[in-house]
Structure 1
Amino acid sequence: MDCCGQFLKSQFPLINDDLYEYVEGVLSNGIDDFEDSEELYDAVGAVLHEVSEEKTEDDIREICGKLLSLMRGTNGDGPKEEQKVLDAPIHLASMASNLQDNVEDIKSIWMMQRDETLKVDARKLEKAEQKLQQKQEKRQEVAFTNRSLPPVKLQSATASQVTSKKESKMEAKGVNRAQDIRIENFDVSYGDKVLLQAADIVLAFGRRYGLVGRNGLGKTTLLRMISSGALRIPSHISVLHVEQEVVGDDKTALDSVLECDFARQSLLDREKEINAKLNSGDSKSNEINLTNELSEIYAALGAMEADKAPARASIILAGLGFTPEMQGRATKTFSGGWRMRLALARALFSKPDLLLLDEPTNMLDMKAIIWLETYLQTWATTLLVVSHDRHFLDTVPTDILHLHSATLDPYKGNYTRFETVKNERVRNRTREIEAQEQHKAHVKEFIDRFRYNANRASSVQSKIKMLEKLPELKPVEKEVEVVLRFPEVEALSPPILQLKEVSFGYTPEKLVLKNVELGATLESRICIVGDNGAGKTTLLKLILGILTPTQGDRVVHRNLRFAYFSQHHVDQLQLNGSSVDLLQQEYPGRPVEEYRRQLGSFGVSGDLALQVVASLSGGQKSRVAFAKMCMSNPNFLILDEPTNHLDIETIEALGHAINKYTGGVILVSHDERLIRMVCKELWVCSQGTVKSLEGGFEEYRAIVERELMELNKN
């Protein structure tokens, strides 16, 4: 059994004591309880999934198979369990008549004697069994839902485009060398929904464009249409769309970035090949030609400064948060978030003619965001980025493309200038329409007064013709204002929430957080910041009671009801069925009007509430997740990166909703605009500690900028 425990800890180094002792207790019952690895998976698989989200179901099943082999001793790694062999037949009736004297003999027949140290604490076992039961019930509910609902069949986006004969001829002859990108008179549809109609887009070489617009209008779809070739651009222009994470393999992070420079990599591969031939001595007849080719390769590598490539790749990786140790690790060892950072690093290193970025700040902490903002300000080629980070859009783009009403409107300048000019355009158009209406009323009055006056007949006719020639001024279509509303809650008497000298570590040897001393009330508006991996999410789970402190105490009010919005909340939504169906499954037995009203509080109303969840945009799914989270009427919100996928207007509405909420709020976010709107207290996670920063976000940003300056110097 020791070998099973050692193997378990080697596969799940972060497993806590309660779950470890539970699994060990199940395994210690012996192999007789399990006919095959499938039965062992049914017993402990759910617990192991809880411990590690990174391992797939196949990984867990394989581990269960290995555990069963260790228990049976069939792999040679562990000792076989000793079996009791009887020397002669046993007469049980006679033994039972003298039970007191023969109890040890009976035990030796029917029971394996176990090491007392393997006994499971009853309280911990009960706690672990409750967690397992909840997990299994949840999985069974999801499995039933998946069986009862038909599979989701999503429609795919389509694009059509009109191209001039001149451009087609130039493209066919291969003489088109234009660096600017012009996509004119194109349509993009998603099923029956028209996203863009007769739209034009011009991307001038060397300009940086920010693509903005409400959730669900087709920004991400437009990027995919460009990158996939559904919208045609000159074939000599290289396009790179950072959308998917890097596939993990044995290559180091640094090598994964370096291999993106295909010209450099092919020259280096050829250099190795030639040197191998020269060293082998098999190519003496061709030695002069190979030597000449090798000289040409060295000249080409020198011209492209190939020797500086590793340093440049390392600088990019460091800026995105990869330490020197991480740069030397195999890509397969990184989580999905870090692989997305790696995909961004590869794109920045390869320098395509057109770089497409979709929400690049979602996976980054504040330090990496500030570095990326600075790096992209000197981007030499064309950049098209979708972002809802207000500060990022004020810092990086030279132009803004506004997607609305199935069209694209270009604006010069950053987001703040775009907003100013757009509002001015709306005011000007409103004034023009009002002036035209006044003019029409004055002319119509003249026509009505002198319509039957023969002396004024010619004047009346000219006025009528003038009215007919007046241009039709359509009012600017106003976008619906986004309003989010959290539920009203009753006041609670303090103390509400306290962490007293709390320390926590997934293993006793390595503490993630040490001596945390914090408190919160229903008036709290606390924002937690810090580098990725500093322990922000761990701190939230300690506050929620999901994790038990290794040392110290967590004290909460008995009537405190938490609601937790996690980073993966949106990904865990049931995609089959509508938003109303989703709330009905989670909170059955309530009127449909209540579900509709709840969704409407978060901007999911009308036909949108009846749309299949899988077909919603990321921002719309986030609103559904908020509605689901608040169905339990919580009085304390724990929000972990809630702005991912939300558009700027919804982030603004979220800030106003938090300020109006009468319960407590603890927020983890890297969105500078939201932090400045709501934060009354800033907690910084760093090097295992959590400290309140008196200077607020201004002081924290100054600290981060100083750290980046030191990084650049080194």
Structure 2
Amino acid sequence: MLTKSGGCCGLPGSVNMAVPSQLVRDKFPDIDEEIFQYVEGVLTSTEDFETSDDVYEAIGGLLADAVGIEKDAEIRKLCEEVMAKLTTPNGTIERKILDAPVQLAEMAASMELEDQVIKSVWSRERDDGLKVDQRKLDKAEAKLKEKKEKRTNTDKKDTQPAIIMDMATASQVVSKKDRALDAKGGCNTKDIRIESFDVAFGDKVLIQNATVSLAFGRRYALVGRNGLGKTTLLRMIASRILRIPNHISILYVEQEVIGDDTIALESVLECDTQRKTLLDREKEIQARISQGDSDDSLASQLSEVYAELQAIEADKAPAKASVILNGLGFNPEMQIRKTSEFSGGWRMRIALARALFSQPDLLLLDEPTNMLDMKAIIWLENYLLGWSTTLLVVSHDRHFLDIVPTDVLHLHSQNIDTYRGNYESFINTKNERQKNQQREYEAQVQFRAHVQEFIDKFRYNAKRASLVQSKIKMLEKLPELKPIEKEVGVTLKFPDVEKLNTPILQLDEVQFEYTKSVTIFSGVNLSVAMDSRICIVGENGTGKTTLLKILLGELEPTSGQRVANRSLRIGYFTQHHVDQLDMRVCSVELLQSKYSGKTIEEYRRQLGSFGVSGDLALQQVASLSGGQKSRVAFSLMCMGNPNFFILDEPTNHLDIETIEALGEAIQKFKGGVVLVSHDERLIRMVCTELWVCGDKKVGCMEGGFDEYREIIEKEIQITL
């Protein structure tokens, strides 16, 4: 027995419920029409809705994809309003129920739809008006797929580190004694010894059964080829996945400071937690005294706070922080600007300033010179020479490595060797050590062959049987030496080009200004030939990248003109080129998506000319190291067969061997090159003209890089 109510679905007496889709239209008026029609179709049928969560489950995800996940709270509120529309004043949900007896057999006999008799009420199809149109659904899903792909490309930089860290693992053998000492705080030494540890990246073992000792107060450089695990090792130490005694403070400069209303100088001062705590305590006591608090101990508490502030020289902290910021390129006006007003590169400098100011027991730096101009690099070199705690730095700046480190940790062949001295000393010692090891190995091979010859000759001679046996035992006791594993040399090969007639590229009396009151430079006269090797230097913010964009033709000069050869094909490598790669695909697929129509062998050959060969070419780009991604970016740039290069900070993330290879490739390249770089080694290798940006001008320095460095060092001495 069923009951019946007013008409619904053709049933006598069912209720005709209003579809609340207008709420969606009012809330999100700009929503795509296909998606709105799909949502409208879903809301037409509400039999399964019990709560607002049911409504959200039905349309919430779709709306979030359409208008953005950041509006999730608004979408949930909308779903509550939709549910309210379906709820009666007494709080119950309207149901399509039958309130009178119905004879189903009679109903089935008399019911017709589109001239066809329905033999059973249960076999009747649902009203087409209540169905979701499949074409609308397909259109809605296509729209959402397109938006998701765009959003994925935008967000891929943010998701990459998570991919890397999910794949990196470490293990270590730690004795019970060390664990007990660490737990009790019985070990007070600041020296660090990480014994018997392994580091892997997915299925690939990066470091195996290695031991590293860091003596307090020494400055260590961690060097090795791209992709061997240097950055991964720093992260394992910073996160204490590898055992570091609890009493040792660690600071790893990896992420930029979050921008907010805090001024740059105050952001640096805040990282001195002891000073900040004492100053907050002072304010609290002063406030209580000014409010007439009669506690007699307040005066003595205030005296103790002042004594502690004096002991840590808190009054000198602002001056120290200001000196550090100034050295890293922040003038007095910039030091009092909010951190939210700075770009990511400048916020990274603030993070570096905070690390230098707080001076932890162990400071970890990963490519600190990447974000700095030449003046800031020279200042940082001088500052770190006076560093009093332990420093572990990954850098590929050859000059920086010759100045700063007292020791070098060489990562190779899944092991870490320690050398005393700077990078130049390390190279000399390593080469000499390898020569000795190779000589020892060759001598042993000859000795083994000589002894084996004797054994083979007299093996069946009864008179010499005892001597043969002693020779066999001697061979078994000899340590087994292995040949030296020489690292494969790095080669970069730029495309061959035909010579073009001059002028190749020329700027005549060029001036550029963003507004009438902000002139970047004026009177620029720059001429480039096929054999030009021009390096542009200058402090950050003096217009180097703007000048490159004018050379590219991406920016129009305010006055003056740019003249270019019609056959000119420019290959542009930007310092952000690596970040713009599609992290989801492999290198071969990346080249294929940009330059379709070639064979897989051609793509692999192109990648191989930049050292991305074998399995590397088939790995997801996200899993590659920074230097390997740079090589992929070079390969992508050269697929267009350019005859002129504009390179903006191309050495970022490259290892020393690859930088050397880049310099050699530029020397062999038959086209013109304009280069912006802070890597002194590369500049000295390739530069024939040095152009300096500064004081709203761009001029040639006749004395070359030596004169430029001398001027900077004098400026730094004046500011110190």
Classify the TM-score, shorter chain.
0.7 to 0.9
1:529 alignment partner in structure 2: 537
2:175 alignment partner in structure 1: 164
Q: How does 1:404-423 map to 2 (within 5 A)?
A: 404-423=412-431
2:385 alignment partner in structure 1: 377
Secondary structure (helix, strand or coil) at the match of 2:410 reads strand
Task: Check if 1:571 corresponds to 2:579.
Answer: yes
Task: Check if 1:197 corresponds to 2:204.
Answer: no
Cα shift at 1:58: 11
1:259 alignment partner in structure 2: 270
Query: 1:669-690: per-residue Cα shift (whole Å, max 9, x none)?
Result: 0000000110011000011111
Secondary structure (helix, strand or coil) at the match of 2:580 reads coil
Q: In 1, are the aligned partners of 2:253 and 2:366 still within 8 Å (CA)?
A: yes
Q: In 2, are the aligned partners of 1:534 and 1:687 still within 8 Å (CA)?
A: yes
The whole-number CA distance in structure 2 between the counterparts of 1:565 and 1:421 is 36
Segments of structure 2 that go 5 or more residues without pairing to the other structure are: 1-27, 33-65, 72-145
2:260 alignment partner in structure 1: 249
The whole-number CA distance in structure 1 between the counterparts of 2:567 and 2:266 is 54
Secondary structure (helix, strand or coil) at the match of 1:198 reads strand
Secondary structure (helix, strand or coil) at the match of 1:362 reads helix
Q: In 2, are the aligned partners of 1:567 and 1:641 still within 8 Å (CA)?
A: yes
Cα shift at 1:37: 6.6
2:108 alignment partner in structure 1: none
The whole-number CA distance in structure 1 between the counterparts of 2:390 and 2:67 is 43
The whole-number CA distance in structure 1 between the counterparts of 2:524 and 2:463 is 93
Query: Which one of 231, 238, 242 corresponds to residue 242 of structure 2?
Result: 231
2:483 alignment partner in structure 1: 475
Query: Which one of 674, 681, 686 corresponds to residue 678 of structure 1?
Result: 686
2:324 alignment partner in structure 1: 316
Secondary structure (helix, strand or coil) at the match of 1:372 reads helix
Query: 1:456-492: per-residue Cα shift (whole Å, max 9, x none)?
Result: 2211111111111111001222111110000000001
Secondary structure (helix, strand or coil) at the match of 1:608 reads helix
2:233 alignment partner in structure 1: 222
- CA 1:144–1:294 in 2, change beyond 3 Å: closer, same or farther? closer
1:587 alignment partner in structure 2: 595
1:16 alignment partner in structure 2: none
The whole-number CA distance in structure 1 between the counterparts of 2:429 and 2:626 is 28
> How many residues were matched structurally?
579
Query: Which one of 629, 632, 641 corresponds to residue 633 of structure 1?
Result: 641
Q: In 1, are the aligned partners of 2:542 and 2:696 still within 8 Å (CA)?
A: yes
The whole-number CA distance in structure 2 between the counterparts of 1:701 and 1:289 is 58
> What is the letter of the counterpart of residue 470 of structure 2?
S
The whole-number CA distance in structure 2 between the counterparts of 1:226 and 1:510 is 46
Q: In 1, are the aligned partners of 2:438 and 2:483 still within 8 Å (CA)?
A: yes
Query: 1:368-409: per-residue Cα shift (whole Å, max 9, x none)?
Result: 000000000010000000000001111000000001111111
Q: In 1, are the aligned partners of 2:361 and 2:390 still within 8 Å (CA)?
A: yes
- CA 1:430–1:458 in 2, change beyond 3 Å: closer, same or farther? same
Query: Which one of 339, 344, 347 corresponds to residue 331 of structure 1?
Result: 339
Query: 1:233-253: per-residue Cα shift (whole Å, max 9, x none)?
Result: 110000000000000111110
Secondary structure (helix, strand or coil) at the match of 2:578 reads coil
Provide the TM-score with structure 1 as the length reference: 0.79
The whole-number CA distance in structure 2 between the counterparts of 1:495 and 1:240 is 52
Task: Check if 1:441 corresponds to 2:449.
Answer: yes
Q: In 1, are the aligned partners of 2:458 and 2:464 still within 8 Å (CA)?
A: yes
The whole-number CA distance in structure 1 between the counterparts of 2:416 and 2:67 is 46
Task: Check if 1:622 corresponds to 2:633.
Answer: no
The whole-number CA distance in structure 2 between the counterparts of 1:258 and 1:235 is 24
The whole-number CA distance in structure 2 between the counterparts of 1:194 and 1:409 is 17
2:557 alignment partner in structure 1: 549
Task: Check if 1:459 corresponds to 2:449.
Answer: no
Q: In 2, are the aligned partners of 1:146 and 1:576 still within 8 Å (CA)?
A: no
Secondary structure (helix, strand or coil) at the match of 2:488 reads coil
Pairwise CA RMSD:
2.1
The whole-number CA distance in structure 1 between the counterparts of 2:472 and 2:302 is 84
The whole-number CA distance in structure 2 between the counterparts of 1:220 and 1:453 is 61
The whole-number CA distance in structure 2 between the counterparts of 1:560 and 1:140 is 36
2:368 alignment partner in structure 1: 360
Secondary structure (helix, strand or coil) at the match of 2:639 reads helix
Cα shift at 1:545: 0.4
Query: Which one of 645, 653, 661 corresponds to residue 645 of structure 1?
Result: 653
Q: In 1, are the aligned partners of 2:31 and 2:67 still within 8 Å (CA)?
A: no
The whole-number CA distance in structure 2 between the counterparts of 1:299 and 1:202 is 38
The whole-number CA distance in structure 2 between the counterparts of 1:451 and 1:638 is 71
The whole-number CA distance in structure 1 between the counterparts of 2:510 and 2:409 is 49
Task: Check if 1:176 corresponds to 2:187.
Answer: yes
The whole-number CA distance in structure 2 between the counterparts of 1:330 and 1:665 is 38
- CA 1:144–1:708 in 2, change beyond 3 Å: closer, same or farther? closer
The whole-number CA distance in structure 1 between the counterparts of 2:249 and 2:201 is 26
Query: Which one of 277, 282, 288 corresponds to residue 271 of structure 1?
Result: 282
Query: Which one of 398, 411, 432 corresponds to residue 403 of structure 1?
Result: 411
Cα shift at 1:452: 2.4
Cα shift at 1:307: 0.4
Query: 1:283-327: per-residue Cα shift (whole Å, max 9, x none)?
Result: 21x1x2111010000001111111000000000000000000000
- CA 1:369–1:519 in 2, change beyond 3 Å: closer, same or farther? same
Secondary structure (helix, strand or coil) at the match of 1:434 reads helix
2:150 alignment partner in structure 1: 143
Cα shift at 1:156: 2.5
The whole-number CA distance in structure 1 between the counterparts of 2:173 and 2:322 is 43
Segments of structure 1 that go 5 or more residues without pairing to the other structure are: 1-34, 40-56, 63-138
The whole-number CA distance in structure 1 between the counterparts of 2:332 and 2:506 is 38
1:240 alignment partner in structure 2: 251
The whole-number CA distance in structure 2 between the counterparts of 1:315 and 1:308 is 11
Cα shift at 1:269: 0.3
Q: In 2, are the aligned partners of 1:402 and 1:408 still within 8 Å (CA)?
A: yes
The whole-number CA distance in structure 1 between the counterparts of 2:501 and 2:414 is 52
- CA 1:578–1:235 in 2, change beyond 3 Å: closer, same or farther? same
Secondary structure (helix, strand or coil) at the match of 2:652 reads coil
Q: Looking at CA atoms only, which structure, 1 or 2, has the larger radius of gyration?
A: 2
Query: 1:71-115: per-residue Cα shift (whole Å, max 9, x none)?
Result: xxxxxxxxxxxxxxxxxxxxxxxxxxxxxxxxxxxxxxxxxxxxx
- CA 1:145–1:399 in 2, change beyond 3 Å: closer, same or farther? closer
Cα shift at 1:165: 2.1
Query: Which one of 188, 207, 217 corresponds to residue 218 of structure 2?
Result: 207
> What is the letter of the counterpart of residue 143 of structure 1?
K
2:357 alignment partner in structure 1: 349
Secondary structure (helix, strand or coil) at the match of 1:326 reads helix
Secondary structure (helix, strand or coil) at the match of 1:361 reads helix
Provide the TM-score with structure 2 as the length reference: 0.78
> What is the letter of the counterpart of residue 570 of structure 2?
F
The whole-number CA distance in structure 1 between the counterparts of 2:535 and 2:315 is 44
Secondary structure (helix, strand or coil) at the match of 1:512 reads strand
The whole-number CA distance in structure 1 between the counterparts of 2:434 and 2:464 is 39
The whole-number CA distance in structure 1 between the counterparts of 2:563 and 2:684 is 29
The whole-number CA distance in structure 2 between the counterparts of 1:540 and 1:455 is 85
- CA 1:479–1:538 in 2, change beyond 3 Å: closer, same or farther? same
> What is the letter of the counterpart of residue 652 of structure 1?
E
